[in-house]
Amino acid sequence: MGKDMAWIYLAVGLGVAGLAVLGVLTARVLSAVRGLDRELDLARRRLEPRLRAGISAVRPPEG
């Protein structure tokens, strides 16, 4: 194996390692997004009745 071949193997290895790191980080971001989506849905369900009651209390009479 020549010196040139070693550089090629090193470059390919670093490229694969970089892609693996990006894959792990992508999985972590997607997991965090799912968790945030669950929290937002829970907050929306908790606040919706209060917001509906507040909007109907503030709405001026029609006519």
Tell me how far apart the alpha carbons of residues 23 and 62 are, in angstroms, rounded to a whole number: 56
Specify the pLDDT at position 24: 98
Specify the pLDDT at position 51: 82
Residue ranges of domains in the chain: 31-55
Burial (CB count within 10 angstroms: exposed 0-12, middle 13-18, buried 19+), residue 16: exposed
Nearest 5°: the CA angle 59, 49, 33 is 120
Each of the 63 residues of the chain gets a pLDDT tens digit; together they read 678 899 999 999 999 999 999 999 999 999 999 999 999 999 999 999 888 887 766 666 675
